[in-house]
């Protein structure tokens, strides 16, 4: 378990200050919507902390906080602000999508993304320090890779459930613990001289990155948003093979060997296989079963594009300005190339 992070504003200060005590009803607390909920440091950290109680939890925090009604009420307020901002930021979804057209509809969402490419920057120009920062950003999700999407399993049935199980089985190593993708990412971090302990960099990871992880938890933890988590995963699988190839090539250009690149190389192959399963069998299968969820499937995909674009712009603008994209630079024990 990770220690509780440092607060970043009144909401996270209130929440984290209460979590150090035994579980109890939270006193009344008024949450004011920030100007930019999708990147606000305070809101996103508070929401991340609420969600983390459903994952690994925090050191010294009573496990019973997970289902404390007053905490869930606070989380619900934060989610309402977050989801409202999301729906205001993404284009309106179509009211219907034919199941056989699900892959084309999702591909159109991916093709609509004209934001600058982090992977293209890193493979062409990325420095060692920028690559390390990128890995630290990604650790917020990759060290629990696939877990948010697994919340959808009990909400699905029939063909889409079978498709999701097939995808998740690969993510969890196909029965081989050393092949679990989260473990492969931890190995990459370790080989880069970074701390691969779960949650080690939470205090340095900005709200714009936490929002991309909170998005998956929001969708996965709410049955009413099962279409959105399916759309998110489908587009995630459809659009990750090429970026991961670039990340692996960037690391090789910087002199790193297989222990560092294996995670990314694995995703080049795996996600190319997963693309059709995710788009046709999972998303298309769900739309075939429940046509009313088509708009949510597309919304989930568009929300992924929106938040990833914001994250990418943050990284590239920070690097162009000559500053760290993290809240504090990640101090790695070694900044030299790793050995194969």
CATH 1.20.910.10 domain locations along the chain:
99-320
What residue has token string 């009420």? 73
- Rounded Cα distance between 134 and 317, Å, is 13
| pLDDT above 80 for 320 | yes
Helices (H), 55-157: 69-89, 102-111, 118-124, 128-142, 147-150
* Structure confidence by residue, pLDDT tens digits, 143-200: 999 999 999 999 999 999 999 999 999 999 999 999 999 999 999 999 999 999 999 9
Cα 190 to the center of its chain, rounded Å: 20
Would you state the pLDDT for residue 272? 73
Residue 196 near residue 140, CB atoms below 8 Å: no
SS3 content of the chain, % helix, strand, coil (to 5): 70, 0, 30
Would you state the pLDDT for residue 340? 42
Select from 111, 135, 40, 81 the least CA-distant residue to 326: 135
Residue 318: Cβ within 10 Å count: 16
271 compared with 303, residue with greater pLDDT: 303
Would you state the pLDDT for residue 337? 38
Would you state the pLDDT for residue 97? 86
What is the CATH code for 99-320? 1.20.910.10
Select from 208, 186, 206 the least CA-distant residue to 135: 186
Per the structure block, which two tokens stand in for 5? 């992070």
How much of the chain, in percent, has pLDDT values that exceed 90? 88
| pLDDT above 70 for 123 | yes
Q: Please provide the average confidence, as pLDDT, over all residues in the chain.
A: 94
| pLDDT above 80 for 56 | yes
Residue 331: Cβ within 10 Å count: 11
Would you state the pLDDT for residue 274? 86
Select from 279, 164, 303, 156 the least CA-distant residue to 228: 303
Residue 91 — very low, low, confident or very high, per pLDDT cuts 50/70/90? confident
Residue 161 near residue 153, CB atoms below 8 Å: yes
Residue 220 near residue 149, CB atoms below 8 Å: yes
Per the structure block, which two tokens stand in for 109? 């969402």
Cα 314 to the center of its chain, rounded Å: 16
Question: Per-residue pLDDT averaged across 103-112, rounded?
Answer: 91
| pLDDT above 80 for 332 | no
Would you state the pLDDT for residue 191? 97
Residue 190 near residue 196, CB atoms below 8 Å: yes
Confirm whether pTM is higher than 0.75.
yes
Cα 111 to the center of its chain, rounded Å: 20
Question: Per-residue pLDDT averaged across 62-81, rounded?
Answer: 98
Question: Per-residue pLDDT averaged across 129-145, rounded?
Answer: 98
* Structure confidence by residue, pLDDT tens digits, 237-291: 999 999 999 999 999 999 999 999 999 999 887 767 788 999 999 999 999 999 9
| pLDDT above 70 for 336 | no
Backbone angles phi, psi at 187, to 5 degrees: -65, -40
Per the structure block, which two tokens stand in for 280? 């046709």
Residue 298 near residue 82, CB atoms below 8 Å: no
Query: Would you put residue 85 in left (φ > 0), alpha (ψ -120 to 50) or beta?
Result: alpha
| pLDDT above 60 for 335 | no
């Amino acid at each position: 378990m990770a220690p509780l992070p440092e607060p970043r504003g009144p909401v996270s200060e209130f929440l984290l200050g209460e979590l150090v005590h035994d579980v109890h009803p939270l006193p009344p607390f008024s949450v004011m919507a920030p100007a930019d909920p999708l990147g606000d440091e305070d809101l996103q950290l508070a929401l991340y902390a609420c969600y983390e109680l459903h994952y690994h939890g925090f050191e010294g925090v009573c496990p019973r906080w997970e289902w404390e009604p007053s905490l869930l009420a606070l989380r619900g307020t934060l989610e309402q602000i977050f989801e409202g901002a999301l729906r205001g930021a993404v284009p309106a979804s179509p009211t219907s999508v034919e199941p056989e057209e699900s892959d084309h509809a999702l591909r159109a969402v991916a093709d609509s993304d004209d934001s600058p490419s982090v992977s293209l920057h890193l493979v062409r120009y990325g420095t060692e320090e920028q690559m390390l920062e990128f890995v630290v950003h990604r650790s917020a999700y990759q060290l629990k890779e696939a877990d948010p999407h697994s919340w959808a399993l009990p909400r699905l049935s029939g063909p889409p459930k079978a498709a999701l199980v097939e995808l998740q089985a690969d993510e969890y190593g196909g029965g081989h613990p050393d092949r679990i993708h989260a473990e492969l990412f931890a190995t990459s971090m370790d080989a880069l001289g970074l701390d691969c302990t779960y949650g080690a960099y939470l205090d340095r990871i900005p709200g714009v990155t936490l929002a991309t992880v909170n998005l998956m938890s929001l969708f996965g933890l709410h049955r009413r948003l099962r279409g959105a988590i399916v759309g998110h995963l489908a587009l995630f699988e459809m659009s990750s093979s090429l970026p991961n190839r670039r990340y692996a090539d960037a690391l090789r250009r910087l002199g790193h060997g297989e222990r560092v690149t294996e995670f990314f190389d694995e995703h080049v192959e795996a996600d190319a296989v997963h693309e059709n399963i995710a788009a046709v069998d999972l998303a298309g299968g769900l739309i075939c079963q429940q046509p009313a969820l088509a708009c949510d499937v597309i919304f989930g995909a568009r929300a992924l594009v929106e938040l990833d674009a914001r994250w990418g712009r943050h990284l590239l603008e920070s690097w162009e300005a000559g500053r760290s994209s993290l809240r504090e630079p990640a101090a790695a024990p070694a900044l030299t190339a790793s050995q194969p």
